Chains A and B, each alone.
Chain A
């Protein structure tokens, strides 16, 4: 993941989000091998909150 750039949101919120995303990706990636794109997208879905 890229370095956090924070202009519009508090740095703490950005850092907390990055930490959670990294943890989720590490946990899921420990079991699902070679499917980074699918993992990235499912985590984006989770963060987006399903449907508006």
Chain B
């Protein structure tokens, strides 16, 4: 989930990731009249075959960009639940698998409220991380202004990474070693969110598994085959904050995000790290 103000490069980042991989990529522009079948697909009657045939929707890709996901109704947002959990779609009693590897990237703007439907907690819990882009530095923006390659319309990379290479990396991530003390550290952080009085509810078991996976992936990203406490610490805010809601919600989404992240930072400062 990439959440930030309009025009800071959320969609461009998603396009870049898709182009950097030799994979199927579909962008779905979420709007209030988008139907679940526009995402997953629909069974239509084939006159010649005299039977119903399934027409696959755009979700059947390796990378799916759900652009401005909070503009769709909760019913359409929920059409992503099964596929994000299990990588498959069930329609009319038939189950269809989506691409492998499969990743859903979603963007949303935290400021615009008009015509939006906030994602329910069960949906937010299915996103591994929430990322922010932020404004670029002056130097970076100067490069963007001076360059000819802004945007993503003409985007094409030579030598992209293959699907098999991504599948292999994911397999390697699952084998990155976690010492018992690291698992206890993860559990300590998760438990602290569950007893924190300012949160409506703590982190789910899905959330704790997400933190473990993300820590293993971070370790491998930085060239290690074992997880350090800093892998957990550095990734915790991005993995946990979007899964937590304040007991007394703020009317300002950005302010609420800041408050939640502040409490998560406080928890990280208090929970003892393994030596």
- Give the CA-CA distance A45 to B13 in the complex, in Å: 13
In chain A, residues 2-29, which have Cβ atoms closer than 8 Å to a Cβ of chain B? 2-9, 13-14, 16-18, 20-21, 23-24, 27-28
A43 closest partner in B (C-beta)? B221
- Give the CA-CA distance A27 to B212 in the complex, in Å: 28
Collect the chain B residues with CB atoms within 8 Å of residue A49's CB. Answer: 101, 103, 170, 173-174, 213, 217
Of the candidates A1, A9, A35, A50, the one whose C-beta lies within 8 Å of that of B172 is A9
A33 touches B144 (CB 8 A): yes
- Rounded to whole Å, the gap between the CB of B274 and the closest CB of chain A is 17
Interface residues on A, range: 35 or more
Given contacts A8-B225, A24-B161, A52-B206, contact A44 B12 (CB under 8 A): no
Of the candidates B157, B161, B210, the one whose C-beta lies within 8 Å of that of A51 is B210
Collect the chain A residues with CB atoms within 8 Å of residue B141's CB. Answer: 33-34
Of the candidates B9, B12, B103, the one whose C-beta lies within 8 Å of that of A46 is B103
- Rounded to whole Å, the gap between the CB of A15 and the closest CB of chain B is 9
Q: Is B159 engaged at the interface, CB distance under 8 Å to the other chain?
A: yes
Q: Is B143 engaged at the interface, CB distance under 8 Å to the other chain?
A: yes
Q: Is B93 engaged at the interface, CB distance under 8 Å to the other chain?
A: no
- Rounded to whole Å, the gap between the CB of B175 and the closest CB of chain A is 6
Collect the chain A residues with CB atoms within 8 Å of residue B105's CB. Answer: 42
B220 touches A17 (CB 8 A): yes
- Give the CA-CA distance A1 to B218 in the complex, in Å: 11
- Rounded to whole Å, the gap between the CB of B66 and the closest CB of chain A is 13
B20 touches A27 (CB 8 A): yes
29 contacting pairs across A/B (C-beta < 8 A): A7-B226, A8-B225, A8-B226, A13-B168, A13-B175, A14-B225, A16-B165, A16-B172, A20-B169, A27-B161, A30-B157, A31-B16, A31-B152, A32-B9, A34-B143, A35-B134, A41-B129, A41-B131, A41-B238, A44-B214, A44-B218, A44-B235, A45-B131, A45-B217, A46-B103, A48-B213, A49-B103, A49-B170, A49-B217
Q: Which 4 A-B pairs have the closest CB atoms?
A: A34-B140, A48-B217, A52-B209, A9-B225
What is the interface of chain A, defined by CB distance below 8 A to chain B? 1-9, 13-14, 16-18, 20-21, 23-24, 27-28, 30-35, 38-52
